[in-house]
Amino acid sequence: MAFEGLTGKLQAALKRLTGKGKLSEKDVKEAMREVRLALLEADVNYMVVKDFVKKVTERAVGHEIMQSLTPGQQVVKIVNEELTALMGGVQSKINFASNQPTVVMMVGLHGSGKTTTAAKLAGLLKNQGRNPMLVACDIYRPAAIKQLQVVGDKVGVPVFERGQKEPVQIAKEALSLAKKEQKDVVIIDTAGRLHIDEELMDELSRLKTSVEPHEILLVVDAMTGQDAVNVAKSFDERLGLDGVILTKLDGDTRGGVALSVKAVTGKPIKYVGMGEKLTDIEPFYPDRMASRILGMGDILTLIDKAQAAIDEKKAEELEKKLRQQQFTLEDFLEQMQQLRNMGSLTDIVGMLPGVDMRKLSAAGGLDEKELIRTEAIIQSMTREERQNPSIINASRKKRIAMGSGTSVQDVNRLLKTFEQFRKMMKQMSSIERSIKRGRFPLPFF
């Protein structure tokens, strides 16, 4: 997951402030020097960093925090606000045209991930009930058309291609076919090109003039360094971008690009690519990302994920059970299965506040197998045992261990965890109301 390095550095820099009752100008300046280095190491553009540090220092040293009760916290809040502002404030979506089809054009450097992202976006829109079509306009890279056909096929979206024909011509033909077949979104995949390649940039201009796309999206590799702003600027000046898609955010990049691109071009980041699967695309939420950078966790995304994976009605039932402390191992099992629907454990835990993903991955991540083992243990119990674990005696334990291919110790550990968990739930009843409001009854959190 991206941003951990930056998070760690920023947290360390700001931690020194949060403990203090009074802040001197020197304290702030010192912390800001650390913040500056952290941002530079995260590949945030030099000029953007300069600007950012200046802004935060001004606000922090000014009377804004001098009257505050916890000045340190106040600085963190200022940094958070400025980070969010830097990334574009609110979430931006694709603008759909009033008269169909909406034409989306993907542009970018070589290897930024245009073809994969085009397919991911098409798949996402299809799942949202739209009827998209992909157009193969990368006539240069060997086998690029074939690649789009394969990924298009995987997401179940038709791909229009005319071989190595002139891209403008291909796009025109595609558009008229899309109208005839009543497609509502047309996504054009273009060849990767350098922003200083006059000839190929000109081709994009012509493509723009002839098909008049509603959205021109720049696909940017999240690992890009200082040059990102030059690239984004050039494409923007030439074509007038509508937004940016960041790819490969699932690595350990500190993702400084996210901060730079919007600041320099004024164009919002609309989506982020988070993995190799064709469903790994997410809308970009600047405020959530800012919280993530500061290590405040990304509870909102977590809740989104939970809502997608969890049956509303079952959740309500569970909530009731929790309240009445009738939570059984059977419910535990069900919870676990739903949790696994939400994605990899490591990813989920990474969204929680205060979790340092760096340390987590250094420890080899979370053991998904542990979950599978636990599932096997519970499944090897009888119904009665699941309802009432207290009846599980030594011989039952032996049988369960045999049945699940684990050891008696494993069974013991599970039972102990479950008991602790039940106790914890009792204590939780006081904060239960807030859980309910957050529509987030998962006991694991």
Nearest distance in Å: CB 11, other proteins: 18
Nearest distance in Å: CB 2, other proteins: 9
CB nearer to other proteins: pick between 59 and 254: 254
Out of 12, 66, 90, 194, which residue is the one contacting other proteins (CB under 8 A)?
Answer: 194
- Among candidate residues 112, 15, 32, the one with its CA nearest the CA of residue 73: 15
> Binding to other proteins (CB under 8 A): which residues in 106-145?
109-113, 141-144
Nearest distance in Å: CB 349, other proteins: 16
* Residues ≥6 apart with Cβ < 8 Å to 252: 1, 2, 4, 5, 361
| Per-residue binding letters, 259-288, with other proteins (x by CB under 8 A) | -----------------x------------
Please state, in angstroms and rounded to a whole number, the distance separating the CA atoms of residues 365 and 357: 8
Nearest distance in Å: CB 441, other proteins: 32
Nearest distance in Å: CB 362, other proteins: 11
Instruction: Provide the 3-class DSSP secondary structure of residue 251.
Output: coil
CB nearer to other proteins: pick between 34 and 184: 34
* Residues ≥6 apart with Cβ < 8 Å to 337: 375
CB nearer to other proteins: pick between 6 and 414: 6
CB nearer to other proteins: pick between 227 and 311: 227
Q: Is the dihedral of CA 26, 27, 28, 30 positive or negative?
A: positive
> Binding to other proteins (CB under 8 A): which residues in 142-161?
142-144, 146-147, 149-151, 154
Sheet containing 185-190: which strands, arranged edge to edge?
159-160, 132-137, 185-190, 102-107, 215-221, 243-247, 269-273, 281-283
Please state, in angstroms and rounded to a whole number, the distance separating the CA atoms of residues 235 and 197: 11
Nearest distance in Å: CB 46, other proteins: 5
Phi-psi region for residue 255, left (φ > 0), alpha (ψ -120 to 50) or beta?
Answer: left
Instruction: Provide the 3-class DSSP secondary structure of residue 197.
Output: coil
CB nearer to other proteins: pick between 62 and 225: 225
Residue 282 class from Cβ within 10 Å (0-12 exposed, 13-18 middle, 19+ buried)?
middle
Please state, in angstroms and rounded to a whole number, the distance separating the CA atoms of residues 381 and 389: 9
Please state, in angstroms and rounded to a whole number, the distance separating the CA atoms of residues 71 and 77: 10
Out of 120, 208, 214, 248, which residue is the one contacting other proteins (CB under 8 A)?
Answer: 248
CB nearer to other proteins: pick between 239 and 318: 239
CB nearer to other proteins: pick between 134 and 329: 134
> Binding to other proteins (CB under 8 A): which residues in 365-404?
365
> Binding to other proteins (CB under 8 A): which residues in 412-431?
none
Pairing type for strands 281-283 and 269-273 reads antiparallel
CB nearer to other proteins: pick between 251 and 403: 251
CB nearer to other proteins: pick between 20 and 154: 154
Nearest distance in Å: CB 17, other proteins: 21
CB 428 within 8 A of CB 435: yes
| Per-residue binding letters, 202-241, with other proteins (x by CB under 8 A) | -------------------x-xxxxxx-xx----------
Nearest distance in Å: CB 281, other proteins: 15
Tokens of 91: 């979430």
Place of tokens 């922003």: 195
Please state, in angstroms and rounded to a whole number, the distance separating the CA atoms of residues 100 and 96: 8
Nearest distance in Å: CB 16, other proteins: 19
Tokens of 78: 């200022």
Nearest distance in Å: CB 105, other proteins: 19
* Contact flag: residue 252 with other proteins (CB under 8 A): yes
Phi, psi (degrees; rounded to nearest 5) at 144: -65, -40
Please state, in angstroms and rounded to a whole number, the distance separating the CA atoms of residues 445 and 430: 15
- Per-residue 3-state assignment (H helix, E strand, C coil) for 114-176: HHHHHHHHHHHHHHCCCCEEEEEECCCCCCHHHHHHHHHHHHCCCEECCCCCCHHHHHHHHHH
CB nearer to other proteins: pick between 252 and 319: 252
> Binding to other proteins (CB under 8 A): which residues in 10-49?
37, 40-43, 46
Place of tokens 């970009």: 284
Task: Tell me the number of residues near other proteins by CB under 8 A.
Answer: 44
Nearest distance in Å: CB 310, other proteins: 27
Nearest distance in Å: CB 106, other proteins: 14
Out of 183, 208, 214, 254, which residue is the one contacting other proteins (CB under 8 A)?
Answer: 254
Using CB under 8 A as the criterion, which residues of the chain lie in contact with other proteins when the complex forms?
Answer: 37, 40-43, 46, 109-113, 141-144, 146-147, 149-151, 154, 194-196, 221, 223-228, 230-231, 248, 250-254, 256, 276, 361, 364-365
